[in-house]
Amino acid sequence: MPDARVNVPDRIPRGKPFEVRILIRHPMETGYRLDEVGKPIPRNVIRTFTCRYDGEIAFSARLSSGIAANPYLRFFVTARESGLLAFEWQDDGGVHGSDSVAVTVV
């Protein structure tokens, strides 16, 4: 199952903020739902999310069950050089997810 869908503009002007959009596959299980036999489904949400631009954190988020399933994040990062945006996230189960996208700065 692909972890995420990432979207950045094709050609980004240097020094300007550019839009980053990421849609992550994750149930963000609240811990308040019951299964078919009435047992609570344990909480499992993405807790930490970081966006690194050539290794340096450009944006991060701490999330909770108050964020909808299959979370969507849209934020802005200042363009420096062409490079790699690397995304990482970790959930309550300790499972790591990641994705990356190359950015072309002109």
Partner 1 sequence: MTMPDSRRLRTRRRLLQAGGALSIVPWLRVGAAAADLPDIPALSAFLAGRTPRSERVRLLLPQLADNGQAVPMKVVIDGPFAPGPHVSAIHLFSETNPVPEMAVFEFPGPVERIEVESRLRLANTQRIVAVAAMSDGTLYSAVAEVIVTLAGCLDGT
Partner 2 sequence: MLRALVCAVSICAAVAGAQERVLPLSALRSGIAFAGPDVRAMQSDDTSNPGLLWVENGQKLWHARAGAADSSCASCHGDARATKRGVATPHPRHDAATGEVFDLEARINACRVRRQQASPWARESEDLLSLTAYVAYQSRGLPLAVTIDGPARAAFERGRAYYSQRHGQMNLACAHCHDQNWGKRLLAENISQGHGTAFPAYRLEWQGVGSLQRRIRACLFGIRAEMPPPGAPELTDLELFLAWRAQGLPIETPGVR
Provide the β-strand partners of residue 20.
75
Q: Which residue has the tokens 């739902």?
A: 33
Which one, of 102, 100, 94, lies nearest residue 47 by Cα? 94
In sequence order, what are the beta bridge partners of 91?
Answer: 46
Contact between 66 and 17 under an 8 Å Cβ cutoff? The reply is: no
Q: Which is nearer to partner 2, 5 or 11 (CB)?
A: 5
Contacts of 94 by beta carbon, 8 Å cutoff, 6+ apart: none
Q: Find the binding residues for partner 1 in span 54-73 (CB under 8 A).
A: 56-69, 71-73
Give which of partner 1, partner 2, none residue 47 binds (C-beta under 5 to 8 Å, depending on kind). none
- What does 66 interact with, of partner 2, partner 1, none (CB < 5 to 8 A by kind)? partner 1
* Measured distance CA(32)–CA(52) in Å, rounded: 33
Q: Judged by CB under 8 A, which of 27, 40, 42, 93 binds partner 2?
A: 27
Number of residues this chain uses to bind partner 1 (CB under 8 A): 27
With binding defined as CB under 8 A, does residue 4 bind partner 1?
Answer: no
Query: Which parts of this chain interact with partner 2 (CB under 8 A)?
Result: 1-2, 4-5, 7, 21, 23, 25, 27-28, 68-70, 72, 74
